[in-house]
Amino acid sequence: MIIDQHTALYGVVGYPVGHSLSPVMHNTVFSASGLNAVYLAFETKDIGGCLEGMKALGIRGMSVTIPHKSAVIPLLDDVDDLAKKIGAVNTIVNDDNGLVGYNTDAFGALRALEDKIEISGITCLIIGAGGAARAIGFIMKERGVHLCIANRSDHKGEALARSLKCPFVPLKDMGEIHAELIIQTTPVGMYPRDGHCIVPKEVLKKEMVVMDIVYNPIETKLLTLARTQGCLTIDGLQMFIHQGAEQFRLWTGLEAPVTTMTKAVEKVLKKSA
Catalytic residues: 69
Q: In terms of CB distance, is 133 or 218 closer to ligand ATR?
A: 133
DSSP designation for 9: E
Q: What is the closest distance, in whole angstroms, from the C-beta atom of residue 31 to ligand ATR in the complex? A: 29
Q: In terms of CB distance, is 188 or 250 closer to ligand ATR?
A: 188
Report CA dihedral (58, 64, 69, 71) to the nearest 10 degrees: -30
Task: Pick the closest to residue 26 from 260, 252, 244, 178 (CA basis).
Answer: 244
Q: Residue 264 phi/psi, 5° resolution?
A: -65, -45
Q: In terms of CB distance, is 37 or 169 closer to ligand ATR?
A: 169
- Give the DSSP per-residue string, 164-182: HT--EEEGGGGGGS--SEE
Which positions lie near ligand ATR, rule CB under 6 A?
128-133, 151-153, 156, 185-188, 198
Q: What is the closest distance, in whole angstroms, from the C-beta atom of residue 171 to ligand ATR in the complex? A: 7
HSE (side-chain half, CA atoms, 13 Å) at 148? 20
Q: What is the closest distance, in whole angstroms, from the C-beta atom of residue 134 to ligand ATR in the complex? A: 7
DSSP designation for 207: T
Rounded Cα–Cα distance for residues 111 and 38 (Å): 26
Task: Pick the closest to residue 240 from 39, 10, 25 (CA basis).
Answer: 25
Q: Which helix (H) or strand (E) holds 210?
A: strand 209-212
Q: In terms of CB distance, is 23 or 236 closer to ligand ATR?
A: 236
Q: What is the closest distance, in whole angstroms, from the C-beta atom of residue 186 to ligand ATR in the complex? A: 3
